[in-house]
């Protein structure tokens, strides 16, 4: 793995930790009820199989809630 990829990966980890801390502080101040919610896939492309799995999961959820 080259140095730039390793540094970007570490920066993403730190960004996630910072977002989690900010959310926790907001929750403690009473302005937010969501703690540490951040998409793992933000900025990444999904494969066709992954997209199909997501669609299937949502269809299953809609079917369960419709009944």
The top-scoring range by mean pLDDT among 33-37, 41-45, 58-62 is 58-62
Give the 3-state secondary structure of residue 2: coil
56 pLDDT tier (thresholds 50, 70, 90) = very high
Residue boundaries of the structural domains of the chain: 3-66
Output the pLDDT for position 17. Answer: 92
The predicted-structure confidence for 10-29, as pLDDT tens digits, reads as follows: 998 999 899 888 888 887 88
Residue 37 and residue 16 in contact, taking contact as beta carbons nearer than 8 Å: no
pLDDT greater than 70 at residue 60: yes
Output the pLDDT for position 67. Answer: 67
DSSP string, the chain: --HHHHHHHHHHHHHHHHHHHHHHHHHHTTS-S--S---TTTT-PPPHHHHHHHHHHHHHHHHHHH-
């Amino acid at each position: 793995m080259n140095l730039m990829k390793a540094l970007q990966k570490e920066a993403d980890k730190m960004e996630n930790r910072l977002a989690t801390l900010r959310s926790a502080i907001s929750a403690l101040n009473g302005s937010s009820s969501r703690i540490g919610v951040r998409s793992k896939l933000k900025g990444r492309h999904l494969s066709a199989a992954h997209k199909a799995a997501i669609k299937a999961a949502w269809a299953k959820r809609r079917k369960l809630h419709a009944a």
